[in-house]
Structures are given as structure tokens and as C-alpha cells.
Amino acid sequence: MTRLRLLGRQIRAEHRAFWRNPASAFFTFAFPLVFMVILNTVFASSGGAGAIAFYTPAIIAFSMVNAGFTTLAMSIAIARDEGILKRVHGTPLPTWTYLLARVVLSVAMGLALSAIVAGFGAVVFGVPIPWDQLPLVVLTLVIGGATFCALGLAVAGLVPNASAAPAVVNAIALPLLFISNTFISIQDGILVTIGNLFPIRPFADSLQALWNAGAGTFDPFDLVFVAAWGVAGLLVAIRTFTWEPRA
């Protein structure tokens, strides 16, 4: 069997495993939409149409972070403590195939979530989809998704055990989401400076620029910066990732 065919079979296996837990799958796709409705309801009264237009790309950015970083990091840490990674490591399946299949599935789930949020925003809130910018949108989402997956693997390697995974992962992701033009719009001050040091803010700003003409100009350097974070995360993951449960 060729490597590409083997990878395809593993991706299909991971996909089936995901949908065999219907409750988890349902809330994975419903949670961003619930968040979107709540934020629009709370902030649209004060921000008007600008707030409504802001939250479609903002929730798409949140969805990619959640699918690539939060979910992957926690699920890998749990699988390691349950001995699943150890058993996979003992099979003839190449380890890179298993991990790459998990990454591909996470990016695919993020893209599916992005499409659902974009469609929901267009139908319910009247936020137009930037069809003329679609290639750049897809490129931005893929680079962001791959980066957050690499960072998720890096954090999974650093998490001491599955019990600590939710606390550690959320302690990293939630503060950054709040200061990275995702949950609330922040345009100046020290929080913007801090947010620009991490990949979520440039990623969210890129989506805002593609969705909203008044949100700024799309800067390709933002994608380079996000990709650099992905490379750094991959290097950390190579050094810290372990297949054995930790004592």
C-alpha cells in the first residue's frame, strides 16, 4: 500500500470515529453558532451593523483555533493517558500517518465549521460571503488551521496528564482569544501589542480584512507570521511529544 493511500485510509478511520460520538459531533458544530448568536445579540445593539459584520470572521477564527488547537491538544493528551497512543505506536502503522491524519481531520473540521458559520452569518445576519476573495480565504484558513494543529501537538507534549489538559489548554487559548480581536474588538492599547506577538491576532485580522473592506488591508506578512508560529510549534512537538502515558 502506498503512503498516500495509507494516509487516506487512516483519515477515513478518524472521520468515522469522530461521527460515532454524535453528541460530541453535534456540539462541535453547534457551539460556534450559539456563541455567534449570543455575541451578536449582546453587542449588535451598541455596535450596529459593524458589530454584526465583525462577528462572522471573528467566530470563524475562533472555530479554527478551537478545532486545531484546543480540541486536538486535549484529545491527544487524553488518548496518551488512556494508552491509545501507546497501542498505535506498537502497530505497523507509521506514527507520522496517525498524527497527520489527526491534523488533516482537525483542519477539515475547521474548514467545515468556517463554511457553516459563513453561511449562517449570510442567511441570519445578512453578512455577505466574500466570494471574490475565496482563494485567499481558503489559504488563510488552511495555514491557520495547520499552525494551530502544530501548536496543539506541542502543548499536548507539554501537558503532564489528561486531567490537566483542559485547564492548561484553556488557560492558553481563552486569554489570547479575548485580546486577539476575536471575542471583542480591540484596536489600540497594550493588549493589541501583546496580541500581535501571538498567531491568533494576525490570523483574525486577516479574516477581518477579507470579510470587511473597512477592517483594514490584507497583509500577506500576517500569514507568514502565523506559519512561522506553526513551524516553531512543530519543532517543539518533535522534541516533547511522547507516546507513553506519563507517571
DSSP class per residue in the chain? --HHHHHHHHHHHHHHHHHTSHHHHHHHHHHHHHHHHHHHHHHHHHHHHHHHHHHHHHHHHHHHHIIIIIHHHHHHHHHHHTTHHHHHHTSSS-HHHHHHHHHHHHHHHHHHHHHHHHHHHHHHS-----GGGHHHHHHHHHHHHHHHHHHHHHHHHH---TTTHHHHHHHHHHHHHHTTTSSS---SSHHHHHHTTSSHHHHHHHHHHHH-GGG----HHHHHHHHHHHHHHHHHHHHH--SSPP-
- pLDDT tens readout for residues 82-98: 888 999 888 888 888 99
Across 24-28, 88-92, 112-116, 136-140, least confident range: 24-28
Domain ranges of the chain: 3-240
* Average pLDDT over all residues of the chain: 88
What is the CB-side half-sphere exposure of residue 50 using CA atoms within 13 A? 6
**Rounded-to-integer distance, Cα 4 and Cα 70, Å:** 27
- pLDDT tens readout for residues 55-88: 899 999 999 999 999 999 999 999 999 888 999 8
C-alpha dihedral (50, 126, 223, 185), degrees to nearest 10 = 30
Across 5-19, 165-179, 191-205, least confident range: 5-19
45 band by pLDDT with thresholds 50, 70 and 90 = low
155 band by pLDDT with thresholds 50, 70 and 90 = very high
Across 11-25, 32-46, 91-105, 229-243, least confident range: 32-46
For 51-118, the three-class secondary structure string (H helix, E strand, C coil) is HHHHHHHHHHHHHHHHHHHHHHHHHHHHHHHCCHHHHHHCCCCCHHHHHHHHHHHHHHHHHHHHHHHH
Average pLDDT over residues 23-48: 77
> Taking the CB of residue 78, how many other CB atoms lie within 10 A of it?
18
Contact 170, 218 (CB under 8 A): no
**Stated pTM of the model:** 0.91
Residue 49: per-residue pLDDT: 55
